[in-house]
Amino acid sequence: MKKLLFRKFLSDHISQFFFFGISISVIVWVVQAVNFLDFVTEDGHGLKIYFIYTTLNLPKIFHRLLPFIFLISLFYQLSKYEDRNELLVFWSHGVNYKKFINVILIYSFLFSFFQIILGSFLSPKSQDLARSFIRNSNVDMFPNLINEKKFVDVMDGLTIFADTKDSDNNFTNIILSENYIKNNKDNQIKIISAKTGSLVSENESRYFELGKGKIIEIKSDKITNISFDKIIYNLNKYKSKTTTYQKIQEVPIYNLILCFNNYYFVKDLSSQIGFLKCQEESIDDVKVEIFKRILKPFYIPIIALISCLIIFLSKESINFKKKRLYLFLVCFCILVYSEIFLKYSGKSIAGFILFFFIPVLSFLITYILIILKSKNKSIGHNA
C-alpha cells in the first residue's frame, strides 16, 4: 500500500512538472524568439535558419528553468495534498515523516542527475548544432536588407550604401567600403563607388556587377585610385556579423574537464581544445561552466527538503498560508542565491565555499534537525 501511495504522489508530481515545464518553457522560448528576430532583420539570415536556431535553444531553456519548475510543481503538489488532507492517508498507513522526506529526497536526486545529463550533453549539443546552422548560413535575407539611402553593415568588414534600388536588386550610385586589418598590424581601407550596380545570386555564389566607377585603396601611407568600366565584386568572402564561434556553454563537458585538467594538473597554461582556449583569461569561465553543469543541480534536493517542511505546518494555525508562502520564498531565494554565487564560484576559494559548501552544510544540518523532530511526532499527527 505504501508503494502505491508514493507511486500516486510521484506520478502526480511528474504530470505537474511537465505541465509547468512545457508552459513556462514555451513562454520563455517565445520571448527569446522575438529577441532572435535580429538574425533576420539585422543579420540577414533566412527564416528557416531563424526557426531552426530558436527551436534548438529549447533544451537550454528547459535546463536553466528546471530547478524553478521542480520547485513550483513540488510545492504545488505538497500544498494540494495538504489542503485536501491527502497526506493523512500516508500517516494512517504507517508512513512516518522521516520515510516521506527520504523518498522525496531520493526522488529529487534523480532530478539532479537528470539536469546534469541535460546540461552536460543534450543542451550543449543542441546549442552547438544551432550555431553550426549560423556558420553555414549564406545570409539569405541579405538583398532585402539593402535599402535606399541607408548604410548597411550586415557583413563583417563591409559597409554598403546605395542611392536608389529597384525590385530586381539594381542600384544606382552604390558605395562599398571595406575595412580590415591585415596581419594584426596594417589597417587597410578600400572604397568602391559605382554609378550602377546589380546584385546577382547564382547557386551559393553572390556578387555585385558594378559599372562606371572608381576604386580608392588606402594602405598605410599609400593611396591608390583606379577607374573601371565594369567589375565583378565577390561577396562570398564575407561572413555574417553574427557570432559563429563556439561559445563556452556550447563546449562539450569532456572538453571543459580536459581544459581544467590541462591547466591545473598538467600545468599547460595555454592549450587549445577545439574553439576553447585554456589560459588564464578563460579558466575562471571554464570552472564556472563546469560547476553550473555538475554542482548546481544539487540545489534541487535542498529546495525539496525545504518544501517538505509543509508537512510540519498546522492547518489550524492562523498564519498557515503565510508560513507556507514564506517557505516558498525561502526556496526561491535559495535558487537566486545559487545564480548569484555561481558567478563567483570559479574566481576564488571563498566564492566556491559560498556557492557549494555552505548550502550543502546547511542542507545536512537542516536534514538532521528535521529527522530528530520527526522522531518526536506520533504517526498520524500533523504538527
Which residue is listed with cell 539594381?
A: 170
12-58 residue pLDDT tens: 999 999 999 999 999 999 988 887 776 555 555 567 777 888 888 89
Name the burial class of residue 42, with classes exposed (0-12), middle (13-18) and buried (19+) by CB atoms within 10 angstroms of its CB: middle
In the chain, beta strands by DSSP E: 158-165, 170-182, 186-202, 205-219, 222-234, 271-273, 276-278
Asked whether the beta carbons of 76 and 16 are under 8 A apart, the reply is yes
DSSP assigned state of 86: T
Residue-wise pLDDT tens digits, 224-259:
888 999 998 887 777 665 555 678 898 999 999 999
**pLDDT at residue 54, as a whole number:** 85
Cα of 333 vs its chain's centroid, Å: 21
User: What three-state secondary structure class fits 59?
Assistant: helix
Q: Which of 324, 323, 352 is nearest to 338 (CA)?
A: 352
**C-beta separation of 40 from 46 below 8 A:** yes
Rounded distance between C-alpha atoms, residue 290 and residue 273, angstroms: 15
Q: Read off the pLDDT of residues 335-351 as tens digits, 9 standing for 90 and up.
A: 999 999 999 999 899 99
> Coil, helix or strand for 271?
strand
Low-confidence residues of the chain, pLDDT below 50? 183-184, 378-383
- For every residue of 139-191, DSSP letters joined together read -TTHHHH--BT--B--BTTEEEEEEEE-TTSEEEEEEEEEEEEETTTEEEEEE
Its pTM stands at: 0.78
What is the pLDDT at residue 363?
Answer: 93
Q: Are strands 271-273 and 222-234 parallel, antiparallel or unpaired?
A: unpaired
pLDDT of 243 reads 56
Helices and strands (H and E) in the chain: how many: 14, 7
Q: Is 50 within 8 Å of 144 (Cβ atoms)?
A: no
Q: State the alpha helices, DSSP H only, in 1-57.
A: 2-35, 38-41, 47-55
The candidate with the shortest Cα–Cα distance to 332, out of 110, 138, 70, is 70
